């Protein structure tokens, strides 16, 4: 039986790519010097595509692959995949939920603690040789996280997993989303500005895309205030990035801990010089164990599709 041809948009974890090479004929788009020519050369053969949540697959590429049947994404977010174009053509789309839920939630808490206790800044302080025992220039005191109020934006799987961690630190949880949910033990707030004004930490775990673009506005940041901290493990598009930079610069927002950006991999250069920001390179799910499980699920979805046209984790 002829092996299905797969377009691999970007590199994935080595174990996943090795498994794909064993089962499929893989065409590596990111290695192509002439992208248009490369797509034209494989267009009549490619039946599947693998990508990441950040890279996605746009309508232009989808339109150039007339035999495309399935898109398997390495990640939860699908805002970079043109789902409308896929639905119009009956193309199956899968992602990798569940296997990264706890990992991202753990990392959100790590970011919150790193910001509150200024762990990266203290690390740099020691590395610079500034740590002294003579009573001079002692490292400044930081903020307690225990017992504080947390607002979660988007109480999906990751948001709920993060909320379950908060009682260990005695944190009070409230949340915001487009509508209340049944069976949720946390207080629902139907206005994001109001939620921001009531909490010490605002943690973003919502989905990206047009529905949430710019959701965290200048007004939200102002409400969070000079003693507040924004933590973002969702999507950079959720935050008005210019307003965020301005609020951090003028002190109207106390601090931020950020793993995602509006134009990845380009983080706003203004953030680099700020001492009240913890910045990370979109690595909330970035452990060997979780990325390995994500990669395996991408491969398993492709295998399942070409075996019986069913996806293990279809995107609705």
**Residues annotated as part of the active site:** 235, 264, 282
* Distance between CA atoms of residues 171 and 113, nearest Å: 12
Pick the closest to residue 196 from 166, 156, 239, 242 (CA basis).
239
* Distance between CA atoms of residues 279 and 283, nearest Å: 10
Long-range contacts formed by 249-255: CB under 8 A, 24+ apart:
249/274, 251/226, 252/221, 252/222, 252/225, 252/226, 253/221, 253/222, 253/224, 253/225, 253/226, 253/228, 254/224, 254/225, 254/226, 254/227, 254/228, 254/229, 255/115, 255/228, 255/229, 255/230
**Which residues have C-beta within 8 Å of that of residue 150, sequence separation ≥ 6?**
112, 163, 166, 171, 172, 173, 174, 199, 200, 201, 202, 203
Burial of 26 (0-12, 13-18, 19+ CB in 10 A): middle
Stretch (H or E) spanning 244: helix 241-250
| N-to-C CA span, the chain | 31
What's the distance, CA 191 to chain centroid? 23
What's the distance, CA 270 to chain centroid? 21
Residue with tokens 């996280």: 145
The 10 Å CB-count burial string (b at 16+, else e) for 45-73 is ebbbbbbbbbbbbeeebbeebeebbbbbb
């Amino acid at each position: 039986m002829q092996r299905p041809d797969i377009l691999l948009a970007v590199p994935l974890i080595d174990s996943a790519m090795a498994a794909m090479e064993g089962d499929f004929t893989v065409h590596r788009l990111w290695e192509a010097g002439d992208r248009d020519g490369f797509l034209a050369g494989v267009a009549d053969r490619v039946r599947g595509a693998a990508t990441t949540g950040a890279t996605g697959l746009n309508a232009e590429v989808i339109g150039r692959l007339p035999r495309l049947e399935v898109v398997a994404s390495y990640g939860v977010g699908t805002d970079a995949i043109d789902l409308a174009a896929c639905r119009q053509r009956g193309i199956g789309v899968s992602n990798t939920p569940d296997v990264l839920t706890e990992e991202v939630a753990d990392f959100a808490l790590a970011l919150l603690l790193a910001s509150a206790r200024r762990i990266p800044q203290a690390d740099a302080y020691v590395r610079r040789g500034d740590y002294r025992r003579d009573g001079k220039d002692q490292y400044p005191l930081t903020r307690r996280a225990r017992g504080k109020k947390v607002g979660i934006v988007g109480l999906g799987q990751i948001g709920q997993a993060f909320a379950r961690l908060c009682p260990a630190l005695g944190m009070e949880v409230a949340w915001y989303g487009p509508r209340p949910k049944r069976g949720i033990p946390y207080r629902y707030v139907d206005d994001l500005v109001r939620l921001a004004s009531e909490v010490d930490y605002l943690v973003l775990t919502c989905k990206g895309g047009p529905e949430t673009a710019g959701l965290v506005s200048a007004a939200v940041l102002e409400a969070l205030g000079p003693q507040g901290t924004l933590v973002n493990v969702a999507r950079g598009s959720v935050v008005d990035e210019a307003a965020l930079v301005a609020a951090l610069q003028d002190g109207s927002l106390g601090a931020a801990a950020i793993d995602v950006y509006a134009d990845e991999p380009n983080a706003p250069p203004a953030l680099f010089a700020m001492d009240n920001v913890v910045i990370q390179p979109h690595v909330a799910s970035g452990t060997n164990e979780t990325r390995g499980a994500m990669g395996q699920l991408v491969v398993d979805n492709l295998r399942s599709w070409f075996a019986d046209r069913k996806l293990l984790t279809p995107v609705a």
